[in-house]
Structure 1
Amino acid sequence: MTTEAKSPVRWGILSTANIATKVARAIHFAENADLVAVASRTEERAATWAQEHNIPTAYGTYDALLADESLDAIYIPLPPSLHAEWTIKAAEHGKHVLCEKPLAANTDEAIAMADACRQNGVQLMDGVMWVHHERTTAMKKKLGDGTLGRLRRVTAAFTFNWDTIPVGNIRAMKEFAGGSLGDLGYYCVRAILWAFEELPTQVFATARYKVGVDFNLAGILWFSDERIATLDCGFDTGLRKWFEVAGTRASIVCDDFTVPTSEDTARFWVHGPDGNEQNTVDGGIQEVKMIETFSQIVQSGNLETQWSEVAVDTMRVCDALLESDRRKEIVKL
């Protein structure tokens, strides 16, 4: 008895933004995906980028890419302010959507995106890569097998430093829904939700603004069962990309959770009363795993709504944190 091999998922990339280079490489590496088309705002830019990244078809408009009936899935690395418009259009064309994070400019847009994908029978996932790494699976096992005891606290940080704010960078542009929380803190919020597996009951945040966007932000999140989490993110502190999940017996520390230092291995530590144990996980490139996971869902025909649900929940928390800073008070969810 033989099993018929499923055809690779045919991908298109909608925009030639910088992060698209990383994802294009991942699609090429993925065993169940083919990168067949890219679109930019001009035919010249699209053709040049397609040649540089070994892509056979280039389109000079985003609409032309979506009209390509041969494509199964679209990766959208546009600025956050454009995510809702083009995700909804892609869904209406029957395309599965991998959308760069943050999922949207706000929660209302995120919900509209999830609704559109559900109504059109297509998968929606945000581009948070670290959750797909084998290390994340190994850490999650420690959270659930009693190693840490009862979970009490999560602490997460993601920062880097700009000595001079770069002109034209969408991270620092209000009109594109820029800001440190959406760009960096989104990862921290996801780590907290990943560990505690539910929304917080209330949050508090304080932020400092420059050029119209939150340049740094620190937040506190309260959860049921007397659990608490804290996060900080910003464009004004040296590179930090770590989290700690602490329980009544021990804690897990990961010092490079957003992007492992090496593509060959990844590490984390368990800190307990008997000392520190380093754990090393062999394993693959996380963005390739993301593409393969997404493509497997498309091939199976069985949509996995948990991916859009956690992305929308991440937006809910981010919006609550920003609202708390504006109101200078605790916000309940």
Structure 2
Amino acid sequence: MTETRVRFGILGCANIARKVSRAILLSPNTTISAIGSRSLEKATAFASENHFPESTKVYGSYGAVLDDPDVDAVYVPLPTSLHVQWAVLAAQKKKHLLLEKPVALNVGELDVILAACEASGVQFMDATMWMHHPRTAHMKEVLSDEQRFGQLKSVHSTFTFTADEDFLKNDIRVNPNLDSLGALGDTGWYNIRAILWAHDYELPNTVTAFRDPVYNESGVILSCGASLNWNKYRKLVTFHCSFLSNICMDITTLGTKGNLRVHDFVIPFNEKVGSFYAVADSKWAERALGCGPEPSEV
């Protein structure tokens, strides 16, 4: 039986859409049926530069994509401040929704989006890519192995990259009118998701922001962090996110019997390889001149 291909429409020409559109075209059961931008010229150039199929329709508006009967689902990589408007309209047009992260500026907006999807009977998915990677499923198996990993005691997650001067002045992620969450929404989103993923999405009892976050002149966060506590389990968790430090995409999880580390959880350093490191039952060597076993690469 031949699987039905999902026909995607894309709203906007954001840089992240280059990566996701490539994934859509590489997948055997999806294709790009349409793309829309506020400028027809920009949409045409984007389709050409990213090698969209000749059959892809190009529109000079977002609404035209939603009105296209040949579009089953839409990918929305628009600025976060526009998500609730266009996600709700997409749901009302009976289009399934793949929504770029952060999905909304606050929980209230997300509730509106989810209610619209439920009312129209369409699928909602957020575009946190690493959650859908086969490596992530394998890592979860390791964390769930009580015989080797034991009980989860601590998680530390970091996602940073050094933004250039043009980014810090002009990118939508530092514009309070477009993506007011700044580094917390762009990179911290991944850290928080990693922490909740490791805890099977049980919410912490308390969250405490670290002192002295870095803001730009418009009041948008450029660098920050926090600690999270699960009091009844006596677990302490931290994260750090920033536009001001070299690329780092780490998760370190500590268990009573084992550890797991991954150094590129957001985007693998090598497109064709996704590795992580795990170890169990580590002990000091004689005279503490080392320890073993050494972490193994998976």
Deviation string for 1:52-109 (max 9, x for gaps)?
A: 3324210110011100112111000101111111110100000011011001111111
Is the 2:33–2:70 contact (alpha carbons within 8 Å) kept by the matching residues of 1? no
Matches within 5 A, 1:63-102: 63-102=63-102
Is the 2:159–2:241 contact (alpha carbons within 8 Å) kept by the matching residues of 1? yes
**3-state SS of the aligned residue for 1:16?**
coil
**3-state SS of the aligned residue for 2:32?**
strand
**3-state SS of the aligned residue for 2:295?**
strand
Q: CA RMSD in A?
A: 1.4
Partner of 2:297: 279
Between the aligned partners of 1:258 and 1:47, the Cα distance in structure 2 is 30
Is the 1:253–1:271 contact (alpha carbons within 8 Å) kept by the matching residues of 2? no
By how many angstroms is 1:278 displaced?
A: 2.5
TM-score normalized with structure 2 length: 0.89
Is the 2:72–2:95 contact (alpha carbons within 8 Å) kept by the matching residues of 1? yes
By how many angstroms is 1:160 displaced?
A: 1.2
**3-state SS of the aligned residue for 1:136?**
helix
TM-score normalized with structure 1 length: 0.80
Partner of 1:209: 215
Is the 2:162–2:244 contact (alpha carbons within 8 Å) kept by the matching residues of 1? yes
Between the aligned partners of 1:264 and 1:93, the Cα distance in structure 2 is 37
By how many angstroms is 1:156 displaced?
A: 0.2
Higher relative contact order (CA 8 A, sep 6+): 1
Partner of 1:270: 278
Between the aligned partners of 1:47 and 1:237, the Cα distance in structure 2 is 35
Return the letter of the residue paired with 2:277.
W
Matches within 5 A, 1:1-333: 4-52=1-49, 53-55=51-53, 56-146=56-146, 147-162=148-163, 164=165, 166=167, 167-178=169-180, 179-197=182-200, 198-206=202-210, 207-211=213-217, 212-223=219-230, 224-272=232-280, 273=282, 274-280=292-298
Between the aligned partners of 2:179 and 2:39, the Cα distance in structure 1 is 24
Q: After TM superposition, which residue ranges in structure 1, 4 or more long, deviate above 4 angstroms?
A: none
By how many angstroms is 1:47 displaced?
A: 1.9
Report the count of equivalent residues.
Answer: 277
Q: Structure 1 stretches of 5 or more lacking a match?
A: 281-333
Between the aligned partners of 2:198 and 2:28, the Cα distance in structure 1 is 30
By how many angstroms is 1:277 displaced?
A: 2.7
Between the aligned partners of 2:45 and 2:214, the Cα distance in structure 1 is 40
Return the letter of the residue paired with 2:105.
A
Between the aligned partners of 1:208 and 1:42, the Cα distance in structure 2 is 35
Does 177-186 or 205-214 show the bigger shift?
205-214
Between the aligned partners of 1:217 and 1:5, the Cα distance in structure 2 is 48
Q: Structure 2 stretches of 5 or more lacking a match?
A: 283-291
Q: Which has the larger radius of gyration?
A: 2
Between the aligned partners of 1:254 and 1:222, the Cα distance in structure 2 is 22
Q: Alignment identity in percent? A: 39
Partner of 2:285: none
By how many angstroms is 1:267 displaced?
A: 1.1
By how many angstroms is 1:163 displaced?
A: 5.4
Between the aligned partners of 2:127 and 2:247, the Cα distance in structure 1 is 21
Return the letter of the residue paired with 1:164.
E
By how many angstroms is 1:275 displaced?
A: 2.5
